[in-house]
Each structure stands twice: as C-alpha cells, then as structure tokens.
Structure 1
Amino acid sequence: MKKKLQILIPILICFFVGFIGSCFQADAISNWYPYLNKPDLTPPNVVFPVAWSVLYVLMGISIGLIMNSNSRKKKYFVKIFLLQLFLNFTWSISFFYFQSPIAGLVNIVLLEIVIIYYALSVYPIRRLSTLLFVPYVLWVSFASYLNFYILLYN
C-alpha cells in the first residue's frame, strides 16, 4: 500500500499544482492570450489541459518510482522534482498572470534545464523514470518555442 501511495500522492500533487496555476491564468487566457500573434503550430486551447493531464500522471509516476527505490539519493531527486514543479507553476504566473513573454521565457528555459537534469540524473536509478519524463521534456521544448515566438512577434 505504501508503494502505491508513493506514486498516487505525487500524481495528486502535480494535479493540485496545475490546478492552482490554472487559477492564475484563467483571466489572461480569455482576455489577453487570444489576441497575441501565435505560430501556426499553436494547438487549440482544448489540447493543453489534456496534454497536461497526461504529463502530470507521467511525472507523478516518475518520482513515485524514485521514491520507491532503494537509492540513497532519492531525497535529492525529490528536491529536484519539487524545483521543476515550482518552475512549472511559476511559468503560468510569469507568462499569463503578469502577461510577460520575456519572464515566461526565462522561467521556461530554467524549467527545461531542471527537467532535463532530473531525467538524466535518475536514469541510473530507474530508467523508466527517465522515459516517463521524455514527453514532458518534449512538451516543454515545444512550449518554449511557442513562448519565444510570442515574445518575438508581440
């Protein structure tokens, strides 16, 4: 039971952080974001909550597997995971709440660095934890492109 909770709790934390972040962006998604120049590759708004739901599950499983490991460094990896989750949360505030593509870009670049570091660092402990982070790394890379485009053309 403890092992299942060590996977379920991080998933729920990811969803909670995502929900709180969405509260900060709701107004801007209605009143600011639709009027920005965006690249042709920008997905419809309905894609974002679906993608993030999948990513939160994968992220939670990733850290849960690390927490269930015998590694002496698992507390360190939890701290790295929490740092990336904090940066994920603050991106919504930087980009949407403050309506600042430059602050968002700085934030998302830091996020990308931390999630790549996490993914590479946990590989020797649990390869599956790294593989579960690959979609997240790819999504944040794509989001970085969107953020950069918006910065350049608005």
Structure 2
Amino acid sequence: MPNWLKLVISLLLPQLVGGTGALFTITSIDSWYQTITKPSFNPPGWIFGPVWTMLYIMMGVACYLIWKSDHPQKKNLLTLYFVQLGLNALWSPAFFGLQSPILGLVVIIPLLVLIFLCVKKFNSVSNWASWLMIPYLAWVSFATVLNFSIWWLN
C-alpha cells in the first residue's frame, strides 16, 4: 500500500470514530447532560469539538508514522493503537448514549492505560509518534477526572 494511502486512512479513521461518538453526544447534551451535576472545572461545551478534532489529527499522524515504519513490532503497536481507538469509540455511547457515568469510567480507565502504553511503546519506533500521543493522554487524563467527578456528584 502506498504511504499516501496509509496517511489518508490513518487520518480518516480517528475522525470517523469522533464523528460516530458525536452522534451519541449531541443527542444527550441538551437533555440528560444539562440535568446532571457537573464539577466547577467542567469546560464549556464549545471546546470539545476543536480539541477532539486536533487530537484525532495528531493520533492519525502518530498511527501513520508507526504504520509506514519497518519496525518488527509494527503489527503489535498498530493492534495496541486500534484497541485504544476502539475503546475511544465506545466511550461516548457508554457515557452519553446510555447516560451512564459509571459505564463511561469502565471504558475510559482502560483507554487511559492503553494510551499511556502507546506513548511509551511508540517511542521505540518514532519519537514523533510518541510525542503526538501525549496531548491525547493529557486530555483523556482530564476527561477521566471529569468523568469520575460527574459520577461522584450524581
């Protein structure tokens, strides 16, 4: 497969995951989410779209850097990446779709661990791939605290 096609696929897949998650989020924002108690550090709603778009682009580039490599662990690293992407895809349906902060935690905690492992293990193939995943790790760390706080308050 040519590298340009790998880049396009790598960039599109996380955006598709984000778009699918947005469908579950949008349907719950004006109803359920407005009725629950949120912590004082809950960000304004408008910030999530731009942040996730940038994070998904960075994740896609990180995936591409791993995918185009000749590293012997490439297949394992891509499997790790796609498993975490799958958990990412499950979080919005769990939290917003099922309106369940506890199910959100059940998804986001292993997601956080897998992102950390991606950051750590990607470094053996590409420093850039590892660095590109760090903002995602930071945001999901914050999201985990936010998810926990919402569960605790409700």
Q: TM-score over 0.5 for the alignment?
A: yes
List structure 1 runs of 4+ shifted beyond 4 angstroms: none
> 1:106 Cα deviation (Å)?
1.4
Q: Distance in 1 between matches of 2:49 and 2:131?
A: 21
TM score, norm. by length of structure 1: 0.96
- Match status 1:4 vs 2:27: no
Return 5+ residue gaps in structure 2 as ranges: none
* Matching residue of 1:115: 115
Question: Pairwise CA RMSD of aligned residues?
Answer: 1.2
Within a 5 Å distance, the mapping from 1:86-105 to structure 2 comes to 86-105=86-105
Return 5+ residue gaps in structure 1 as ranges: none
> 1:85 Cα deviation (Å)?
0.7
Q: Distance in 1 between matches of 2:7 and 2:84?
A: 17
* Matching residue of 1:139: 139
Instruction: Confirm or deny: 8 A CA contact 1:8 1:61 kept in the other structure.
Output: no
> 1:129 Cα deviation (Å)?
0.5
> 1:59 Cα deviation (Å)?
0.1
- In the alignment, residue 20 of structure 1 is paired with which amino acid? T
**Residues matched between the structures, number:** 154
Q: Distance in 2 between matches of 1:83 and 1:13?
A: 13
- In the alignment, residue 49 of structure 2 is paired with which amino acid? P
- Match status 1:64 vs 2:55: no
* Matching residue of 1:129: 129
> 1:147 Cα deviation (Å)?
0.3
Instruction: Confirm or deny: 8 A CA contact 1:38 1:149 kept in the other structure.
Output: yes
Identity of aligned residues (%): 37
